[in-house]
Amino acid sequence: MKENNITALYERLSVDDQLSGESNSIKNQKSQLEEYAKKQGFKNIVHFTDDGVSGTRFDADRPGFTNMMDEIANGNVAVCLCKDVSRLGRDYLRVGLCMETMRVNGTRLIAINDGLDTINGEDDFTPFRNVLHEFYARDTSRKLKSSFKQKGNAGKHTTGQVAYGYYWDEKREKWLVDEYAAEIVRQIFRWTIEGFGPYQISLKLKEQQVLIPAAYMAEAHNEGVNKSKVFKDPCGWGSSTIAHLLRKREYLGHTCNFKTAKHFKDKKSHYVDESEWLIFENTHAPIIDQDTYDNAQRLRGNARRYPDGFGEAHPLTGLMYCADCHGKMYVHRTSNGKRIPQYTCAQYSKVPVGELCLTQHRINAEVVLTLIADMLRAIADYSKNDRAAFIKAVTEAQDEQQNGDIAKKKNRLVTAQKRAADLEKLICKIYEDYVLEKLPETRYAALDGQYAKEQDALSKEIAEIETALANFEKSRKSADKFIALVEKYENFDTLTTTMLNEFVEKIFVHERDRKGSIETTQQVEIFFNFVGRYVPPQFAEKELPPEEQEEQRKREERKDRLHQNYLRRKERGKVAEDYEKTKAKKKAAMDAKKNALRAEDIAKGVFVPVSHLPKKEPKKADLPIAANQ
């Protein structure tokens, strides 16, 4: 033993140990260890203390223990004193490693109450004692979980932290609405329905100097784990915070328990699947109504409403889908040098082009907006004139949809569930054959991977179908809600993003009946919230009078003749010749239009060329000169 080596006195007290009385306090541990060290003549006493830390946690969670082990590893500790081995920890593997580190570095370990002194040789009972110490921690955790679960099953809040927008009552049993914060929450949901994403909303709140939830709860209610923290930017909202608030079911007035779980060793919370939550409805005053919450979740799930170069998302973004491949349709703000927003199928444009979807399904956004506005006006008139007839028509339309798409989904669900059950049997069978050496290992691995991949795909598909069926049943008999929504607005001359998201669930666009023709028809299916796919009587297909049918026939025949002429000219190379003659002129005209649009964007600040950015001189770095130069 070196003269300057220290005697380490280690004390630890967890929150649970505080319940055992005064004898386990840090003060009493220090007194007992110092008295023992004095009697034994140990010198250079240094205390290492962890107060309020569980014995199942190690490393950074216990700075006192970590510092002591560093000193031991460096060979600076002659003797380590503790009240009992459980003070070192309640994880028998980690404690065993700790004791081995002490043995390798020549540190003598003394646990007073356990009668352990390594100078007398190894104690065969020590490993079993360490296991019992861990069992104590596991048993304590089980009892706390049981109490916690009983409280949660009774519908009481299992968290000590209240959601932003609420505060505790005097007994800390009920959540009360904080009107100031609640209005911020409502505004966040309104902005989401208007088409703003979490990042844009965070910028708005920061610009308005609204305190972040942690800072506000600390200032207004002295609540939160960060109530003593000095915030670097108390108004620095983040997009993740916005997204987290938008997912909270608590704003509907519900208590959501068991959203997280933790292991008794690491004490860290882990989010669990939503199916494992326990939700008690209407336990406190709601801040957001169900329709607003559902609209926000649908928008967050279906569309990434990022602003484009024009600083905003188009109102129809997230609602448009290709009728053939069911892929999303994205907006193009300009077309042929004109500001004409058009939507095209995103699957068509993916390389190789035309592989995932054969055609673009191009359609002008203004056409769709006009169609929606006209249909809503017709529905409003119909519902006002004959409410009963409208409800009957909607119910019939829903029944027709059930006989079509919903019936297909139900049949597919049965098939998928049966295949999933068969796969489980197959996996058990090939494993049995592998164990009995009837199946080679390589073949087993290949089949197991193949079946597991198919199982995962089926599980995902089954969940999606079940969600779709649940949503359909939920929307049935909701004509009254739709009528109330229609009556909410006086007119539909201007459709805002909020209005579109309140009324429209999705829009399917079919390909044009005749591509390359200015005058043609194109089918558009609009699915409304609450009522599904409904077409007002005014928009139902009507048989044309004989004279109009004849006129339409002649018009189509003329289009066919012109198309055939075009194909013959193309075959002879005349189309290419005409293109070469006018290519330069058309390109110059198109470039002029594009440059004019770009100049407008530059003037508005939407687009900034690199040449317009302020020039900065490169910084010069001073390299250190080597000593031998």
- CATH label of the domain that carries residue 222: 3.90.1750.20
In this predicted structure, what is the pLDDT of residue 236?
Answer: 92
Mean pLDDT by runs of 10 across the 629 residues of the chain is: 80 67 72 90 91 79 89 91 88 85 90 87 71 66 63 70 89 89 94 85 93 90 78 90 91 82 59 74 90 83 51 78 91 81 90 88 92 89 83 75 73 90 90 87 89 90 84 64 80 84 90 78 88 81 82 87 86 87 88 85 75 72 56
Token pair, residue 601, equals 């964007």
pLDDT at 629: 45
Q: Are residues 550 and 536 in the same domain?
A: no
> Are the C-beta atoms of residues 260 and 203 closer than 8 Å to each other?
no
C-alpha dist (Å) from residue 621 to 164, 167, 614, 617, 618: 48, 54, 22, 12, 9
Lookup result for tokens 């007994």? 171
| Element of type H or E holding 371 | helix 365-385
Residues 341 and 468 in one domain: yes
* Cβ pair 321, 329 in contact under 8 A: yes
Q: What is the pLDDT of residue 152?
A: 62
Contact partners, residue 450, CB within 8 Å, separation at least 6: none
Residue 577's φ and ψ, nearest 5 degrees, are -65, -45
Residues 535 and 572 in one domain: no
- Assigned domain for 230 exists: yes
What would the two tokens of residue 299 be? 């928008």
Same-domain check for residues 456 and 522: yes
Would residue 619 count as lying in a domain? no
Query: Is there a single domain that holds both residue 131 and residue 159?
Result: no
Report which DSSP code applies to 154: T
Q: Which helix (H) or strand (E) holds 413?
A: helix 407-435
pLDDT of residue 124: 67
Query: 193 lies in a domain?
Result: yes
Phi, psi of 497 (to 5 degrees): -60, -40
Please, is 231 exposed, middle or buried when counting C-beta atoms within 10 Å of its C-beta (0-12, 13-18, 19+)? middle
What's the total number of domains in the chain?
A: 4
Do 353 and 496 sit in the same domain of this protein?
yes
Q: Return all residues near 330 (Cβ < 8 A) that are at least 6 apart.
A: 317, 343, 344, 346
161 and 145 fall within a common domain: no
Tell me which residue of 314, 224, 236, 249 sits closest to 496, measured CA to CA: 314
Last residue of a domain, one of 89, 122, 150: 150
Residues 335 and 483 in one domain: yes
Instruction: Please state, in angstroms and rounded to a whole number, the distance separating the CA atoms of residues 252 and 295.
Output: 13
Last residue of a domain, one of 302, 327, 354: 302
Question: What is the separation of C-alpha 270 from the centre of its chain, rounded to a whole number of angstroms?
Answer: 15
Cα separations in angstroms, 527 against 94, 319, 402, 408:
60, 10, 14, 18
Look at residues 86, 117, 150 and tell me which one is the last residue of a structural domain: 150
Q: What pLDDT is stored for residue 524 in this prediction?
A: 93
In a domain, 212, yes or no: yes
- Can you point out the beta strands (E) in 229-308? 255-257, 260-262, 269-271, 278-280
DSSP string, 59-81: GGG-HHHHHHHHHHHTT-EEEEE
Per DSSP, 476 falls in state: T
Residues 187 and 234 in one domain: yes
Judgement on whether residues 514 and 372 belong to the same structural domain of the protein? yes
Q: Taking the model in full, what pTM does it have?
A: 0.60
The 8-class DSSP code of residue 110 comes to E
Q: What pLDDT is stored for residue 136 in this prediction?
A: 63
Name residue, tokens 């203390």.
Answer: 49
493 and 355 within one domain: yes
Per the omega criterion (within 30 degrees of 0), is the bond before 315 cis?
no
CA angle 412–417–423, rounded 5-degree value: 125
The CATH code of the domain that includes 105 is: 3.40.50.1390
pLDDT digits (tens, 9 = 90+) for 525-580: 998 888 888 888 888 777 778 888 888 888 888 888 888 888 888 888 888 888 88
Return the closest-CA partner of residue 101 out of 77, 137, 130. 77
Q: Is residue 467 part of a domain?
A: yes
Q: Say whether both 368 and 452 belong to one domain.
A: yes
Give the chain's mean pLDDT: 82
Residue range(s) defining the domain that contains residue 29 = 6-150
What is d(CA 96, CA 83) in angstroms, rounded to the nearest whole number?
A: 17
